[in-house]
């Protein structure tokens, strides 16, 4: 099976602060691949690099065989039409209704008549269970519902690649389960490839085909959810079992408490 | 000590030139995508309606009071020389040449400019502009350009409303309250105001102010750091920078238009 997205020898830094180093990942077509790791480990940066919002210092991201950072603006926009992205907090247009939010990409990129757009939008909203909320504004629905509207908007143009940035963050257990099922079902129904960035172990393991674990901008483990559940890798064990201590320290690196309080032996 | 002063002065100058260059590039980038916005005139007319509406009430009320005060002040002073018949012409020239475009632009910066900056800044903070980019929609063309044209087109109309209401205000004070001869008021105005020299220059001025204020507002909103504190700072910057730009440009244009 060919890969829709390939990442090779990728390095990225904000100024002097290195975010990603020597990254190699494959995202096969039709699969749901999860990228997991603690906050600030560079997961979202991977999505931004795939979407071409930032440029790597070294290495390359290939989407459908095209090197993303070598594309000119029109080429990049052409590529992005095949992508859908769910932002962490939905990023819905607050001045538009839910209907108009989902209709936005259709109106921008197609010349479809308004009746057809109406039918398509209602079908997408039906898929996320919010057809009857189409006349409301984003401020009038809950955070979980807003996330689902954003999913409907991300799939409006039936993209080949759907990227989800922390889709479970801040959701109640019911919404979390709903969203997880929705992501899996959409992946299978649309035949698209999905990249799921998350740190929620249970939901992600329940739906993902393959998981990459990241820490400090590097891949530290990878495998199917079943393999990772029994993994003896200390990082994976700490993460999956939510242990407070392990390779990921509780304290921000720096001086020890004894040094700060002046309790060390005087020299 | 001296070295440190020179260092910081140098850094300040360099940063200023850098940000000026950055703003200039952003301006040309906006101009590059601006004509494309006319392919969807509905977006522009929506913004003209929206932005014009923001500022219409404050423009009318301010225009009325400025006109009332001008009528009163000119009358009190001109009557000392028996020249009160010139009032109509003086009021109209002051409003059309200077006060109309300048005061309207200052009000426009405070009313519509700040809300444009806040709106675009909050869209950026809420990742709406990033979401748009990821949907292969250029935010400069879709969000900034229609707002830019909306402001640029609304500004001369608002300035004309300001001047017209101002003239009516001075008419109320001078003719209706202080019994200035109505015929003298209007005939002096008609004789004193030249369409090419005064009205056209006024339209050009307000058009340029429209460009300056609206560009400042959308630029500040688009380049805001996505935090509530910086959105607040950006709205303040819009008023300060746009007002100074308007006053500076007014001097330059007045010097070019009205000196021989």
| Cα angle B52, B53, B59; round to 5 | 75
Residue A43 has a pLDDT of: 86
Residue A266 has a pLDDT of: 54
In chain B, what residues touch A89 (CB-CB under 8 Å)? Answer: 126-127
CB contact under 8 A, B131 and A81: no
Question: If you measure CA to CA, which chain A residue comes closest to B141?
Answer: A108
Best CA proximity match to A47, nearest among A72, A23, A75: A23
| Pairing label, strands A32-37, A193-198 | parallel
- CA torsion sign for A199, A201, A205, A211 is positive
Residue A264 has a pLDDT of: 67
Q: Which of B122, B123, B136 sits opposite A77 (nearest CB)?
A: B136
B131 vs chain A: nearest CA distance in angstroms? 6
In chain B, what residues touch A80 (CB-CB under 8 Å)? Answer: 133-136
CB contact under 8 A, A91 and B138: no
Residue A194 has a pLDDT of: 93
Mutate to test the interface with B, among A14, A86, A91, A159 (most CBs of B within 10 A): A91
Residue B162 has a pLDDT of: 96
Q: Is A85 on the interface with B (CB under 8 A)?
A: yes
Give B239's contacts (C-beta < 8 A, 6+ positions apart): B109, B110, B113, B114
* pLDDT per residue as tens, chain A (267 positions): 588 898 898 888 888 888 888 889 999 999 999 998 877 788 888 999 999 988 898 888 999 888 888 888 889 999 998 888 998 888 899 889 999 999 999 998 888 999 999 999 999 899 888 889 889 999 999 888 888 899 899 888 889 999 999 888 877 888 788 888 888 988 988 889 999 998 888 889 999 999 998 888 888 888 898 888 888 888 888 888 777 777 776 777 788 888 888 886 555
Q: Which of A83, A85, A91 sits opposite B126 (nearest CB)?
A: A91
Instruction: Tell which A residues from 39 to 68 touch B, by Cβ distance under 8 Å.
Output: 51, 53
| 3 state SS of A123 | helix
Instruction: Tell which B residues from 84 to 123 touch A, by Cβ distance under 8 Å.
Output: 122-123
Q: Is A169 on the interface with B (CB under 8 A)?
A: no
- Average of per-residue pLDDT values in chain B: 91
Residue A97 has a pLDDT of: 93
Residue A19 has a pLDDT of: 87
Mutate to test the interface with B, among A48, A87, A100, A158 (most CBs of B within 10 A): A87
Location of structure tokens 């990129």: A109
Residue B115 has a pLDDT of: 92
Listed as ranges, residues in chain B with pLDDT below 50 are: none
Question: If you measure CA to CA, which chain A residue comes closest to B131?
Answer: A91
| 3 state SS of A215 | strand
Mutate to test the interface with A, among B134, B141, B147 (most CBs of A within 10 A): B134
Q: How many beta-carbon pairs under 8 angstroms link A with B? A: 46
Residue B98 has a pLDDT of: 93
Interatomic CA distance for residues B217 and B234, integer angstroms: 9
In chain A, what residues touch B138 (CB-CB under 8 Å)? Answer: 77
CB contact under 8 A, B136 and A88: no
Residue by residue, what is the 3-state secondary structure of chain B?
CHHHHHHHHHHHHHHHHHHHHHHHHHHHHHHHHCHHHHHCHHHHHHHHHHHHHHHHHHHHHHHHHHHHHHHHHHHHHHHHHCCHHHHHHHHHHHHHHHHHHHHHHHHHHHHHHHHHHHHHHHHHHCCHHHHHHHCCCCHHHHHHHHHHHHHHHHHHHHHHHHHHHHHHHHHHHHHHHCCCCHHHHHHHHHHHCCHHHHHHHHHHHHHHHHHHHHHHHHHHHHCCCCCHHHHHHHHHHHHHHHHHHHHHHHHHHHHHHHCC
Interatomic CA distance for residues A25 and A38, integer angstroms: 18
Best CA proximity match to B218, nearest among B40, B37, B63: B37
Question: If you measure CA to CA, which chain A residue comes closest to B40?
Answer: A108
Residue B19 has a pLDDT of: 85
CB contact under 8 A, A87 and B136: no
Interatomic CA distance for residues B11 and A257, integer angstroms: 39
Residue A1 has a pLDDT of: 57
A255 vs chain B: nearest CA distance in angstroms? 30
Residue A209 has a pLDDT of: 93
Q: Is A88 on the interface with B (CB under 8 A)?
A: yes
Residue A236 has a pLDDT of: 82
> How many CA atoms does the CB half-sphere of A27 hold within 13 Å?
28
């Amino acid at each position: 099976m060919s890969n829709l997205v390939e990442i090779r020898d990728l390095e990225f830094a904000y100024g002097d602060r290195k975010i990603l180093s020597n990254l190699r990942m494959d995202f096969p077509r039709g699969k749901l691949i999860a990228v997991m790791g603690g906050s600030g480990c560079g997961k979202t940066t991977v999505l931004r690099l795939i979407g071409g919002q930032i440029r790597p210092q070294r290495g390359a991201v290939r989407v459908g065989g095209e090197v993303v950072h070598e594309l000119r603006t029109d080429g990049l926009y052409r590529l992005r039409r095949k992508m859908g992205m769910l932002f962490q907090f939905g990023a819905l247009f607050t001045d538009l209704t839910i209907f108009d939010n989902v209709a936005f990409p259709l109106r921008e990129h197609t010349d479809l008549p308004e009746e057809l757009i109406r039918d398509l939008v209602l079908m997408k909203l039906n898929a996320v269970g919010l057809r009857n909320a189409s006349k409301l504004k984003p401020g009038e629905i809950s955070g979980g519902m807003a996330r689902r509207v954003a999913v409907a908007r991300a799939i409006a143009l039936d993209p080949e690649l759907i990227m989800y940035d922390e889709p479970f963050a801040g959701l109640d257990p019911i919404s979390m389960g709903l969203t997880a099922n929705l992501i899996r079902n959409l992946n299978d129904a649309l035949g698209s490839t999905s990249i799921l960035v998350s740190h929620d172990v249970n939901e992600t393991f329940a739906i993902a085909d393959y998981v990459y674990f990241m820490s400090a901008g590097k891949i530290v483990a990878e495998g199917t959810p079943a393999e990772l559940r029994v993994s003896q890798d200390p990082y994976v064990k700490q993460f999956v079992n939510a242990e407070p201590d392990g390779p990921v320290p509780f304290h921000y690196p720096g001086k020890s408490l004894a040094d700060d309080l002046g309790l060390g032996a005087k020299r | 000590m001296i070295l440190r002063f020179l260092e910081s002065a140098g850094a300040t100058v360099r940063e200023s030139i850098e940000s000026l260059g950055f703003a200039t590039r952003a301006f040309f980038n906006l101009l590059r995508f601006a004509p494309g916005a006319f392919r969807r005139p509905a977006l522009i007319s929506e913004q003209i309606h929206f932005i014009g509406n923001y500022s219409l009430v404050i423009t009318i009320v301010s225009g009325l009071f400025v006109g009332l005060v001008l009528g009163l002040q000119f009358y009190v002073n001109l009557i000392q020389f028996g020249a009160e018949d010139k009032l109509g012409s003086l009021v109209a020239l002051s409003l059309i040449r200077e006060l109309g475009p300048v005061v309207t632009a200052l009000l426009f910066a405070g009313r519509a400019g700040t809300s444009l900056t806040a709106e675009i800044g909050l869209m950026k903070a809420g990742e709406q502009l990033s979401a748009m980019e990821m949907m292969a929609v250029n935010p400069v063309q879709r969000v900034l350009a229609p707002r830019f044209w909306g402001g640029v087109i609304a500004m001369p109309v608002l300035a004309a409303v300001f001047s017209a209401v101002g003239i009516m205000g001075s008419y109320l004070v001078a003719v209706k309250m202080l019994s200035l001869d109505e015929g003298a008021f209007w005939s002096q105005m008609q004789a004193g105001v030249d369409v090419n020299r005064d009205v056209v220059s006024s339209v050009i001025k307000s058009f340029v102010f429209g460009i300056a204020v609206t560009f400042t507002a959308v630029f500040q909103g688009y380049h805001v750091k996505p935090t509530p504190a910086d959105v607040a700072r950006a709205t303040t910057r819009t008023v300060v920078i746009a007002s100074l730009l308007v006053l500076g440009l007014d001097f330059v244009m007045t010097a070019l238009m009205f000196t021989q």
